[in-house]
A = this chain, B = another copy of it.
């Protein structure tokens, strides 16, 4: 049986939802009588990787573009991410003789997704990473001159910005957008989507001069989009109530690495007009963060660049490793979250490496300064400082060093391509505990970034989405470096697709 109404009847339903923008009498009038304060071909919501890529792509293709950012600064959560970008087939991989391909990256991502990932969406991304990488280089993004190996990837394929943050990407892209004439709005919060009487998304209601700390602050405006609206608004890791509905374990006691704006209102808006929700309960914890600092912090990067690939992580009660330090994020977070004492309290694991291992760790200096990374002259001192059984720790290090020499991790089968023997003092260590990091779930999209309708599973006309606000791509666990890959690639796809859409007359 199929009681799902026909497409036509859904369109009428969606049409109805323009009401909040114009009041109920507007329904009797054709949408062309609706008044917009401003109109562009394309409206992009959000100024992270996905939003900037979409805006630039659309602008490059000749569209007039409005970009709306609710926070007081551009870049969204992307600006504070670690700037690590998984690229399958980068120039540096070629130079270093690392054999990689989109297909190999696809297999890594499928494995991490644990059966829940939508392979067609993943394919989009892996084949788009090299072009997206070139796109960023074209706009002046600078990468470090070495390739990194992140957990769950079968080869080193991480390019990282020289700044070690996503801001190293968002800043040049913001500049480029300004230079190209994208109409940029800061402090502009979208409160509603506006649909015409055929159910097509034709604009947004916003609050200009909005202060994100003050509910409903700002000046109401209504903006029209002739070709469509691209939602690139990221995840909801900072919306504790909403994330707890999806996963009750992610309560207020768990910190998030995200910026305070990661609260998901536009996602909820899209769902409220009938967008297909996919896997909203798949919420990722970052396994590399520290209980000793707030947010993403300095330790996260210390661990991804040094502690995990060039060191080991141990249970402080036993001095022993308990997980493959380069397993995917879910496997590592799940393992760390099991490190509890008899009262269920966290026993923070210790991750450490030696003076060779930390060479590329840019956050080391500040980490030491703020006391979240500690320096020790011997492994014995390190053991004493954290209360680790000394002999057991030294034995574990010797065992691991032997695995490195033999090229085979007999404990956890970790890839040892970048591993080193941990032996050259001083040693550097940090305490580890996961934080809420990324929402794999979101709205369902097509390969062309069109948002799907929950009843028909066909595109909602005029509505596109890209990046973290979309769902299903990464399944149960996103690999490190794949947020930038996803954001940039799907953003560019959305920008292309919305420009190709037939415009509606809004004047």
List the interface of chain A (C-beta within 8 A of B).
1-6, 9-10, 12-13, 15-20, 23-28, 70-71, 115-119, 189-192, 197, 207, 210-213, 215-216, 241-242, 245-249, 260-261, 263, 265-266, 268-269, 271-274, 276-282, 441, 444, 452-455, 457, 472, 475
Q: Report chain B residues within 8 Å CB of A9.
A: 20, 191-192
The answer to whether B27 and A12 have CB atoms under 8 Å apart is no
The answer to whether A1 and B213 have CB atoms under 8 Å apart is yes
* Cα(A41)–Cα(B149), bound, Å: 63
Q: Residue of B at shortest CB range from A120?
A: B248
* Cα(A453)–Cα(B268), bound, Å: 9
Q: Report chain B residues within 8 Å CB of A277.
A: 271, 277, 280
Q: Report chain B residues within 8 Å CB of A213.
A: 1
The answer to whether A454 and B281 have CB atoms under 8 Å apart is no
Q: 14 interchain pairs (CB within 8 A)? A: A1-B213, A1-B263, A3-B207, A3-B265, A13-B20, A16-B18, A24-B197, A25-B27, A27-B27, A115-B248, A242-B457, A245-B444, A268-B455, A278-B280
The answer to whether B278 and A5 have CB atoms under 8 Å apart is no
| Pick from B192, B216, B278: contact of A13, CB under 8 Å | B192
Query: If A4-B268, A19-B15 touch, does A281 touch B116 (CB 8 Å cutoff)?
Result: yes
The answer to whether A1 and B189 have CB atoms under 8 Å apart is yes
Known: A4-B268, A15-B24, A278-B281. 12 other contacts (CB 8 A): A1-B189, A1-B211, A3-B266, A9-B191, A10-B20, A13-B20, A16-B27, A24-B28, A28-B28, A245-B444, A271-B454, A280-B280
The answer to whether A117 and B20 have CB atoms under 8 Å apart is no
Q: Report chain B residues within 8 Å CB of A5.
A: 20, 191-192
The answer to whether A246 and B278 have CB atoms under 8 Å apart is yes
Q: Report chain B residues within 8 Å CB of A115.
A: 247-249
Shortest Cβ distance from A83 into chain B, in angstroms?
25
Q: Residue of B at shortest CB range from A11?
A: B20
Shortest Cβ distance from A13 into chain B, in angstroms?
4
Q: Residue of B at shortest CB range from A19?
A: B16
The answer to whether A272 and B1 have CB atoms under 8 Å apart is no
Q: Residue of B at shortest CB range from A452?
A: B245
Q: Residue of B at shortest CB range from A268?
A: B455
Shortest Cβ distance from A130 into chain B, in angstroms?
26
Shortest Cβ distance from A18 into chain B, in angstroms?
7
The answer to whether A19 and B24 have CB atoms under 8 Å apart is no
Q: Residue of B at shortest CB range from A195?
A: B16
Q: Report chain B residues within 8 Å CB of A265.
A: 1-4, 455
* Cα(A452)–Cα(B10), bound, Å: 22
The answer to whether B17 and A17 have CB atoms under 8 Å apart is yes
The answer to whether A271 and B271 have CB atoms under 8 Å apart is yes
Q: Report chain B residues within 8 Å CB of A20.
A: 5, 9-10, 12-13, 16
The answer to whether B70 and A191 have CB atoms under 8 Å apart is no
* Cα(A210)–Cα(B242), bound, Å: 38
Shortest Cβ distance from A27 into chain B, in angstroms?
3
Q: Report chain B residues within 8 Å CB of A280.
A: 277-280
The answer to whether A1 and B116 have CB atoms under 8 Å apart is no
Query: If A116-B281, A457-B242 touch, does A191 touch B268 (CB 8 Å cutoff)?
Result: no
* Cα(A116)–Cα(B192), bound, Å: 30
The answer to whether B116 and A249 have CB atoms under 8 Å apart is yes
Q: Residue of B at shortest CB range from A274?
A: B272
Shortest Cβ distance from A218 into chain B, in angstroms?
9
Q: Report chain B residues within 8 Å CB of A266.
A: 3
| Pick from B1, B210, B271: contact of A260, CB under 8 Å | B1
* Cα(A15)–Cα(B453), bound, Å: 19
The answer to whether B28 and A19 have CB atoms under 8 Å apart is no
Shortest Cβ distance from A169 into chain B, in angstroms?
23
Q: Report chain B residues within 8 Å CB of A272.
A: 10, 13, 274, 453-455
* Cα(A285)–Cα(B452), bound, Å: 26
The answer to whether A215 and B457 have CB atoms under 8 Å apart is no
Query: If A3-B189, A27-B25, A282-B281 touch, does A472 touch B18 (CB 8 Å cutoff)?
Result: no
